[in-house]
A and B are shown apart, each in its own frame.
Chain A
């Protein structure tokens, strides 16, 4: 029956499994059947490094079998609903409903309706409280788990922080409970004792208008704060030496090795920089070992270095030298995103790229020095222009610049500053002797700032659609025609903002939107803003209630989580932002953010 449908849908290969490197086990031989779900389509989910790590980690256990689940594309969902085929795993085609545990990774807020679609297709009740002994436990982890409140009603337990150790722990506990014949609720209670596990149903939330008046445990033993888990020594922790090689082209179709976690920079808009602290690096030796075995076991011809700020890797020159030896020997391309543009990196990129990619990316983020200081970006105009100079000398003719509008404490001149900065970069190009007829291609990619939890800007008021549109107009009018401008869809940004800092009241909005057919919202073909506006309205709520300014003394929905970095530090940074005062990076001087509580990585030096 499945074959009939597969002949009719687009890209059927994403539903069949069988890829080289995918794990085949006999389900009868294991005690735990785990379904790992990335709530988006295969091409997106398979590009996620975290999923690759956890998939192989769990499968290393002889008593467990981890299989993959993705959200089918619209046409496949329709066919499955028509034929009454419940959602199944890729490896054995087992209905997801029949698994012991369903683990969902939360990488971005717009995937929430896809989670509901996945549960619906799997015929698992949406609400935690409606599930019984016949259903899998439903858990979730990833960056959005740091404020999981909008989906708290759908998740049995959240996993905060890094999963390499925590996953093994809760699988051990699960197995014990199953052996003892404990009930679903008793099992969850046992798992809740593990550090970093947050069971939302153990807490009641009270509101007065939009403000939370109390967020307290409703049972004995539930902690008032849950601290995230981190891996102290990345060199000693598990990293798979093999990987699944998809048949089809996926978003990031290459080997990805993780250099380090966290970031020393402390840019005030950036959530990743906060939530992944403290900064911990892998040693060059360990990285080379990983690279070598993945090259051998995958057959890929491209490798990419993954981290928040590759230029900050302490031993980058020595490491890249050795890595280049390895890649040249094996005929492999090296891809280097997130590099600061300086002489070193341009030299490296020229060595590395066999076919010179003509594009380079810079991220000034803001148009004026004052604004860059507000966000603690730490680069000045001189640096930017020097980088442009080096890039143009290196033969790069296509430059992309990332900016944000809607940042806190922003004025009109800051928006105009974006156009002015782009013009100055163009001037650098035109001031050089160049070949006739060859132009430069300058693109400014402008996104709308979304305040995120656990950043100094978590109290900020997010700009409304109207305000954003006004600012975009200023930008268009003030820039030179020689510059291309790309806008990130601001409607999506406002919605993202509502969920990023939302609370449990959003649960009914999500359900309503899902009932109206919203899912795969990250895709422009599927995103329907009108349906969302209707969903909010029918629930008696508006997006502005969640993108509003917060007061320092308010209880925030994510206060239940402890990420190391303290609220005090974030408040201090926000005050400094008001004065456009800079904070040094971790290596230049410790700002006492709180991540040192683990005494790991850069914090002990």
Chain B
């Protein structure tokens, strides 16, 4: 019986990496693990795939320093060695920041904090007025076409000034708001001067706002 060792890798995805879609990203990680010669466990059956699981996928266009995935290896590897070998096999836009033993429970994730940098400033009053709206309706693309959804419940908080803002948004199975939809709403209800935005995911939080 092979002892299965589970590891969690915390990594960053930046620069050109923000354009890699989640599916492409899965493949990239699987191949990097192979290059690093880390003995990844494969599932049984007709179409074996690597035993990897990812926390809430990062959308295209968002960078992050706190993303993580879990992987099962067929034997124990020292965590420092794991990190070094993986880093030498990763493309430059992805870096393994730390590796620790054990599997994280991704189901605890309820919120994520984002840093949003805008082109145009939003004043404190404008933000307060936005958050005071009863409903914040936005068109959202679904499989059946375009639906109008109320995103107010998915925004926990927004703060900041001088073109740099922090937003805590619902993330995970109970509700998921992409920061792009938030800025589209800000542009729609406050002003188009807000312009082009860049996004960075800072951390995950559980339903009680504790940082994970």
Q: Give complex CA distance A12, B196 in Å.
A: 16
Q: Indicate whether A251 reaches chain B with its CB closer than 8 angstroms.
A: no
CB distance B46 to A354 under 8 Å?
Answer: yes
Interface residues of A in 148-170 (CB under 8 A from B): none
Q: Which residues of A contact B91 (CB under 8 A)?
A: 18-20, 245, 247
Q: Give complex CA distance A300, B28 in Å.
A: 10
**Closest residue of chain A to B119, judged by CB?**
A4
Chain B window 57-97, contacts with chain A (Cβ cutoff 8 Å), 1 for yes, 0 for no: 00011000000000000000000000000000111110000
CB distance B60 to A331 under 8 Å?
Answer: no
Q: Indicate whether B140 reaches chain A with its CB closer than 8 angstroms.
A: no
Task: Determine how close the nearest CB of chain B comes to the CB of A327; give it in whole angstroms.
Answer: 13
Q: Which residues of A contact B16 (CB under 8 A)?
A: 13, 16-18
**Closest residue of chain B to A6, judged by CB?**
B19
CB distance A249 to B35 under 8 Å?
Answer: no
Q: Which residues of A contact B196 (CB under 8 A)?
A: 3-4, 7
Q: Give complex CA distance A298, B21 in Å.
A: 20
Choose from A17, A20, A248, A301 the contact partner of B90 (Cβ within 8 Å).
Answer: A20
Task: Determine how close the nearest CB of chain B comes to the CB of A4; give it in whole angstroms.
Answer: 5
Choose from A6, A18, A301 the contact partner of B92 (Cβ within 8 Å).
Answer: A18
Q: Known contacts A4-B196, A18-B16, A20-B91: does B32 contact A299 (CB below 8 Å)?
A: yes
Q: Indicate whether A296 reaches chain B with its CB closer than 8 angstroms.
A: yes
CB distance B21 to A13 under 8 Å?
Answer: yes
Q: Which residues of A contact B30 (CB under 8 A)?
A: 299, 301
Choose from A7, A19, A296, A301 the contact partner of B61 (Cβ within 8 Å).
Answer: A7
Choose from A12, A18, A296, A297 the contact partner of B93 (Cβ within 8 Å).
Answer: A18
Q: Give complex CA distance A539, B40 in Å.
A: 62
CB distance B24 to A247 under 8 Å?
Answer: yes
Q: Known contacts A7-B61, A354-B47, A355-B47: does B19 contact A299 (CB below 8 Å)?
A: no
Q: Which residues of B contact A6 (CB under 8 A)?
A: 19
Q: Give complex CA distance A6, B63 in Å.
A: 14
Task: Determine how close the nearest CB of chain B comes to the CB of A151; give it in whole angstroms.
Answer: 33
Choose from B42, B61, B89 the contact partner of A299 (Cβ within 8 Å).
Answer: B89
Q: Which residues of A contact B23 (CB under 8 A)?
A: 249
Task: Determine how close the nearest CB of chain A comes to the CB of B68; give it in whole angstroms.
Answer: 19
CB distance A13 to B35 under 8 Å?
Answer: no
Q: Which residues of A contact B21 (CB under 8 A)?
A: 13, 248
Q: Give complex CA distance A558, B27 in Å.
A: 45
CB distance A298 to B35 under 8 Å?
Answer: yes
Task: Determine how close the nearest CB of chain B comes to the CB of A373; give it in whole angstroms.
Answer: 43
Q: Known contacts A7-B61, A17-B16, A296-B35: does B47 contact A248 (CB below 8 Å)?
A: no
Chain B window 9-45, contacts with chain A (Cβ cutoff 8 Å), 1 for yes, 0 for no: 0000001110111011101101111110000001000
By the criterion of a CB under 8 Å from any partner CB, how many residues of chain A are at the interface?
25
Q: Which residues of A contact B145 (CB under 8 A)?
A: none
**Closest residue of chain A to B46, judged by CB?**
A355
Choose from A7, A248, A354 the contact partner of B24 (Cβ within 8 Å).
Answer: A248
**Closest residue of chain A to B29, judged by CB?**
A299
CB distance A299 to B48 under 8 Å?
Answer: no
Q: Give complex CA distance A267, B168 in Å.
A: 67
Task: Determine how close the nearest CB of chain A comes to the CB of B10; give it in whole angstroms.
Answer: 20
Q: Which residues of B contact A247 (CB under 8 A)?
A: 19-20, 24-25, 27-28, 91
The residue in B20, B23, B47, B198 that gathers the most chain A C-beta atoms within 10 A of its C-beta is B20
Q: Give complex CA distance A249, B22 in Å.
A: 12
Q: Which residues of A contact B47 (CB under 8 A)?
A: 354-355
**Closest residue of chain B to A301, judged by CB?**
B34
Q: Which residues of B contact A3 (CB under 8 A)?
A: 196, 198
CB distance B31 to A354 under 8 Å?
Answer: no
Chain A window 5-23, contacts with chain B (Cβ cutoff 8 Å), 1 for yes, 0 for no: 0110000110011111000
Q: Which residues of A contact B90 (CB under 8 A)?
A: 20
Q: Which residues of B contact A24 (CB under 8 A)?
A: 92
Q: Known contacts A12-B60, A300-B31: does B89 contact A18 (CB below 8 Å)?
A: no
Interface residues of A in 169-209 (CB under 8 A from B): none
Q: Give complex CA distance A3, B17 in Å.
A: 12
Chain A window 271-309, contacts with chain B (Cβ cutoff 8 Å), 1 for yes, 0 for no: 000000000000000000000000011111100000000
Q: Which residues of A contact B42 (CB under 8 A)?
A: 331
CB distance B20 to A13 under 8 Å?
Answer: yes
Q: Give complex CA distance A12, B62 in Å.
A: 13
Choose from A13, A245, A355 the contact partner of B19 (Cβ within 8 Å).
Answer: A13
Interface residues of A in 5-51 (CB under 8 A from B): 6-7, 12-13, 16-20, 24
Q: Give complex CA distance A12, B19 in Å.
A: 6
Q: Which residues of A contact B (CB under 8 A)?
A: 3-4, 6-7, 12-13, 16-20, 24, 245, 247-249, 296-301, 331, 354-355
Q: Which residues of B contact A (CB under 8 A)?
A: 15-17, 19-21, 23-25, 27-28, 30-35, 42, 46-48, 60-61, 89-93, 196, 198
- Could you jot down 13 A-B contacts, CB within 8 Å? A12-B19, A13-B20, A16-B16, A18-B16, A18-B92, A20-B89, A245-B91, A247-B20, A296-B35, A298-B31, A299-B31, A300-B34, A331-B48
